[in-house]
Structure 1
Amino acid sequence: MLPAALLVLPDLFPGSGHALPYAARLAEALQAGLLLLHVRQDELLTPEEHPGLHTRRRERQSLAALQTLASKQAVPTETVSIEEFLPEAVGEIVREHQPLALVLSCPNAGAVPAEVVTGTALDLLRHISCPLLVLPPGGAAAFVPHRLTLAVDGHDFTLPNYPHIVPQLLTRPGATLDIVYVTDQKDPGAEAGHRALHAVRRSGLAAVPEGTWAHIVYNPDTAQGILQGAAERQADLLVVVARHHSLWGSLFHRSITGQLIDARAIPLLLLPALD
């Protein structure tokens, strides 16, 4: 088993094969490995309405192709398989291997309905105990992010005991962390920013030097405010603490996390938090 690795879903959606190049570059920079997740699908698992869609022969070909892909990576790479794609099954793999993050890429526009992509990501977040890195359509520039923006709500948060990728990213030369706090008050006062900074410090996620100021964004729409703050700080990675209760949307209200995934605007690192 690899000591530290990124778990990659290279072909979860049609037209989403951009996760691996980004993950490979990131793993190389972090001196980590890669785990490529393969979903075994044969005629026993094929829905009745699609008979013959997957055969044992095609399954062997798919696995062989993935193993060939693994052998070509510049970092140690292994493959791991599950019988069918279910968030619970992925969660088991995460618990067993404890990856630094689970990486998936949004497909190009029109390839898969947006609600399917967002729903899948939210389902994964409910079942995994590691960060989820969601890449925008077309992938992202294959360089390691160095301008991180962390969006917080000003309340304390506790992260599970999983390997933390953010501190590792921040140890790289030139890496910076900006903290963004979005409010619907035009003059929230300095205390709002102080609360946001204290919450990050108490979480242990990252060291926040004295003299740091939170970047306050006024926007009645929290998700849009977070994206606005990331753009103003010229972020190349947006980090968001995803509280369990905030992952559930409804017919009339999408969670903030879901809206950020829907936006597909920037590489998005979601940190599942304990409530």
Structure 2
Amino acid sequence: MQMNCRKTVICLVFSSEIKTMKKILCPTDFSKTATKAMEYAAFLASQSRGHVTLLHVTHLPLAETAEAALAASEVVGEIHRDAIDKLNAACHYLQGKYAGTWECNYEVKTAFLADAVRDFVVHEGYDMVVVGSTGGGNTLEEILIGSNTLAIIENVACPVLMIPTEAHGPRIQRIAYASDLQEADTYGLQQALLLAGLTKAEVEVVHIDTKNDTKSQEKAAAFGKQIEATFAAQNVHFNEIIHPDEEVGLKDYLRKTNADLLVILKKHRGFFSNLFHSSLTEKLTYHSKFPMLVLDERVQQHL
């Protein structure tokens, strides 16, 4: 289906209270998916003179007897030692591949993944989590990775960058910010531009209009004018796409514009809220080949 597109120009500046994206946490299980995420984390850190912590999480098996507990502890100890060797090798590899002044360290924890990530973000002040995502699938590994990714998004308020296995790069040259014409999108745009500044990427704002009536068009035009009047620093194209299905329209837009990254602001109402409360497959397959940065509206509310 052909997409109809109207454009205007939006000028933006950063708020002085918008966080940096220098301190990055990257969970890894050493899978192909996680390795792709580590590459992106290292790439971003090398661009920002930042810091990456590679995090491997293990689970302590349930034991009904003292003997079983001792055996489980020995197994976990061996797993930890093996993980440390792999993490150390990964840090050396990434620092050799991505030049620049940036740091890499690693941690091994026994915990549930989402809990461990939340604790690091809250207590260690990480600016971003970079995690692998399968982009949907039916195998046990894909379902587990998808479930863990969703749990991280739901448990942390900092930006979460999801990298699918099939993603190209690391490359972020063209960023698409998906807007539903809410005031909070100004915060989301500032974050998108912050990331764009690291990689010298272009930023486009896209709104999917399923109604295609005078009222919806006037609302989109007013939103563009409001942003244009409020901010003045960076030039961003605003695109209103006429399409009967929001998810399909967004997917078509990303493919046709060769976007490297989709940015959304996780809201607790409307289309994007529904997107994150639908089934796991529906949530994670529509952008299967596109890295996606998920921001949280609640952070903006506390600035």
TM class, shorter-chain normalised?
A: 0.7 to 0.9
- 1:103 matches 2:130: yes
Q: What is the CA-CA distance between 1:270 and the residue it aligns to?
A: 0.7
1:243 pairs with one of 248, 258, 267: 267
SS of the counterpart of 1:129? coil
Q: What is the CA-CA distance between 1:37 and the residue it aligns to?
A: 0.9
- Greater Rg over alpha carbons, structure: 2
List gaps (5 residues or longer) in structure 1.
Answer: none
Specify the alignment match of 2:47 in structure 1.
29
Task: Decide whether the 8 Å contact of 2:33 with 2:164 is kept in 1.
Answer: no
Alpha-carbon distance between aligned partners in 1 of 2:248 and 2:240, rounded to the nearest angstrom: 13
Amino acid at match of 2:86: A
Q: What is the CA-CA distance between 1:197 and the residue it aligns to?
A: 6.5
Closer, same or farther: CA 273–131 of 1 in aligned 2, 3 Å: same
Specify the alignment match of 1:65 in structure 2.
86
Q: What is the CA-CA distance between 1:58 and the residue it aligns to?
A: 2.7
1:232 pairs with one of 256, 265, 268: 256
Q: CA RMSD for the aligned pairs? A: 3.7
Alpha-carbon distance between aligned partners in 1 of 2:27 and 2:266, rounded to the nearest angstrom: 20
Task: Decide whether the 8 Å contact of 2:176 with 2:263 is kept in 1.
Answer: yes
List gaps (5 residues or longer) in structure 2.
Answer: 1-20, 96-101
Amino acid at match of 2:208: V
Specify the alignment match of 2:15 in structure 1.
none
Amino acid at match of 2:282: Q
Specify the alignment match of 1:140 in structure 2.
168
Task: Decide whether the 8 Å contact of 1:159 with 1:273 is kept in 2.
Answer: no
Structure 1 residues 201-225: Cα deviation after superposition (integer angstroms, max 9, x where no partner): 87x8x9554xx55211122322222
Alpha-carbon distance between aligned partners in 1 of 2:178 and 2:53, rounded to the nearest angstrom: 28
2:76 pairs with one of 48, 55, 69: 55
Closer, same or farther: CA 178–201 of 1 in aligned 2, 3 Å: farther
Question: Could you say which structure has the greater relative contact order, defined with CA pairs below 8 angstroms and 6 or more residues apart?
Answer: 2
Alpha-carbon distance between aligned partners in 2 of 1:231 and 1:54, rounded to the nearest angstrom: 46
SS of the counterpart of 1:55? helix
Q: What is the CA-CA distance between 1:91 and the residue it aligns to?
A: 0.9
Aligned length: 260
Closer, same or farther: CA 131–180 of 1 in aligned 2, 3 Å: same
State the TM-score, normalizing by the size of structure 1: 0.77
Closer, same or farther: CA 14–167 of 1 in aligned 2, 3 Å: closer
